[in-house]
Amino acid sequence: MKKIKKFIVRLSKSNKYIKKVLKSIIRKRNSHWYHQFCKENKIHNKMIVFESFMGRKYADSPQAIYEEMIKDDYFNDFTFVWSFRKPQEKVTIPALNRAVLIKYRSKEFYNYYAKAKYIVSNSRID
């Protein structure tokens, strides 16, 4: 499976039409996941998803809001979720020990987006 995926990625880099078709397929798959999870899950009133620069960084206003929330006792029973493109690299950040780290635009990402009542982001949301 990995060889096939690598081949398709290489092919899409050399062919603009294939790249456009693949983006369309991925967009439809992601939309399907989100709508499926919206039907299956109910909204969790005490869940907040954070995202900064489309999953690239732990920074800016989402970081400031999150850090203030974890200091406040009112939010002790809230579930905080951070989405990153490479979540394994963010495990070392001490403030994130209270958050669930997920991969940006993964199936798990759309599941949490469908469940969360609040989404804090500093960029556009699909």
* Residue pLDDT, tens place only, 99-114: 999 999 999 999 999 9
What angle, 0 to 180 degrees and rounded to 10, lies between the N-to-C axes of helices 16-40 and 2-14?
A: 130
Q: Which residues contact 94 (CB under 8 A, 6 or more apart)?
A: none
Q: Work out the pLDDT band at 1, boundaries 50, 70, 90.
A: low
39-49 as b/e, with b when 16 or more CB fall inside 10 Å?
eeeeeeeebbb
Q: Do 58 and 89 form a contact (C-beta atoms < 8 A)?
A: no
Q: Which residues contact 95 (CB under 8 A, 6 or more apart)?
A: 58, 66, 67, 70
Report how far residue 47's alpha carbon sits from residue 6's, in angstroms, rounded to the nearest whole number.
36
Query: What does the pLDDT look like over 33-71, one tens digit per residue?
Result: 888 998 998 999 999 999 999 999 999 999 999 999 999
More confident site: 64 or 7: 64
The pTM is what? 0.83
Q: What percent of the chain has pLDDT over 70?
A: 99
